[in-house]
Amino acid sequence: MSQQTIRAAFESRLATWAAAQVPPLKVAFENVSFEPPEGQDYLRAFVLPAATRSGDMGGTHREWRGIFQVTAVTLPGRGPGRAAQILAAMDALFPVNLAMVRDGLLVRVQDPASAETPDDTDIAYELPISIAYQAQIYLP
C-alpha cells in the first residue's frame, strides 16, 4: 500500500464525477497522455505527497499525508466564477472526514478543499484546488 493506492482512490472518485457533468469535464491525470479540449474547461489532477512517516518504535506503522490537487482550467476572459463553482464541487465531492477505502487502505480527507493562488493568463484561468489527505496502517 502506498501513494499509488491513495492516488487510485482520489482519481477514480474524480473521474466518475467529471464524467457525470453536463457537458462532461475531461481530466488530465498525472503522466497520462492528454489533449486539452478546444474551447472547453477541463481539470488537471496531481498527488503531492509528503514524506512517509512511521510513528512507532517497532517500525510497523506507516502514515501517508499529502495533497490531492485538482486544477480547474477554465476559458480566459470570463472571470473566476466557473473555477469557483468547481472549487465548491470539489469541496462537496471530497468533504472533510470523507473515508475512501481502496485495497484495504483507509484514505481520509483532512481539510476542506481550498483554493490556492490562481494563474490568470490570456490562454486560461487556472485555479489550483488543494485537498489534504492522510492514511495509515500497521504492517504485520
Look up residue 49 and give its three cell numbers.
Answer: 505527497
User: For each of the chain's 140 residues, which pLDDT tens digit applies?
Assistant: 588 999 999 999 999 999 999 999 999 999 999 999 999 999 999 999 999 999 888 888 999 999 999 999 999 989 999 999 999 999 999 999 999 999 989 999 999 999 999 999 989 999 999 999 999 988 88
Strand, coil or helix: what is 18?
Answer: helix
Look up residue 20 and give its three cell numbers.
Answer: 457525470
Q: Give residue 39's pLDDT.
A: 92
CATH of the domain at 110: 3.30.2000.20
For residue 61, give its domain range: 3-138
Q: Which long-range contacts (CB under 8 A, 24 or more apart) does 53-60 make?
A: 55/136, 56/138, 60/138, 60/139, 60/140
How many distinct structural domains can be found in the chain?
1
Vertex 112: Cα angle to 119 and 40 (nearest 5): 40
